[in-house]
Chains A and B, each alone.
Chain A
């Protein structure tokens, strides 16, 4: 039988991830595009954002999303992973392993990410800021896609 709580937690985890994807994608696109030019075009506005203003929101959303993911991980471990192994769907089980590792690496990256955006004296490190943000965005996108596919294969009861 499906428990209300794991459903609520996994949906909330997904919604936080959506917010995180939105914020980081805006930030990455803004970082990698040329100087903003005023335009009414939808894609121009997608990149004409004050990218620095997303930093605190990204850190908070990442921590919340990570915490929720860590809570529901236990249910995944007893309900989903054995099922994947039983049906010999090792690629799916392995994808989750990469998801858990990237989530942890992203957590370790957060202090540096925050510093390169917010700390005084770091404004000259444009390249480091770019690559760290890109790496974090990659983690979040990868984890979201893998999470969605795994949820398709078998949800949390």
Chain B
């Protein structure tokens, strides 16, 4: 293990970020909640849904930005002593749960 100069506080923030990000991301795509939409046909970002003449809307970037912002805010808001109490196993169980949920959710494409 490298002896890197990284504070314990920053370590706990990064762990919390990795735990919050997948949860928020799943909630966002499940509920189609996006901060903004990108319309690739016209190359424009919009906060509101645009008419069909704008072409297909992409919500992906909007999900990523919100998940990253919420993850970062929670990571900085959670007190260090709370973060220390987290069980290390959550670090892979939470993303695994999000992965399984994703596969189950996307089976909707098989039902067309």
Contacts and interface: CB of A to CB of B under 8 A. Distances in A.
Nearest to B17: A111
Nearest to A92: B109
Interface stretch (A6-14, A23-31, A128-136, A147-155): A128-136
B92 A111 contact: no
Nearest to A94: B109
A135 B94 CA distance: 11
B106 A105 contact: no
A120 B2 CA distance: 7
Given A111-B14, A111-B15, A100 B99 contact: no
Size range of the chain A interface in the assembly: 35 or more
Contacts of A82: 56
Interface string B1-28: 1111010100100110111011001000
A146 B48 CA distance: 31
Nearest to A134: B92
Looking at chain B's contact residues, the main secondary structure is helix
A73 B15 CA distance: 29
Contacts, number: 122
A137 to B, nearest CB: 12
A90 B25 CA distance: 23
Contact of B89 (A109, A115, A128): A128
A94 B108 contact: yes
Interface in B79-112: 88-89, 91-92, 95-96, 98-99, 102-103, 106-110, 112
Contacts of A118: 1-2, 4
Nearest to A85: B112
A75 B43 CA distance: 10
- When A and B form their complex, which 4 residue pairs have the shortest distance between CB atoms, in order from nearest? A94-B109, A108-B21, A112-B18, A74-B40
21 contacts: A52-B2, A70-B60, A74-B43, A77-B58, A91-B110, A95-B109, A101-B29, A101-B102, A105-B21, A108-B67, A111-B14, A115-B15, A117-B1, A120-B1, A122-B1, A123-B1, A131-B92, A131-B96, A132-B92, A135-B95, A139-B99
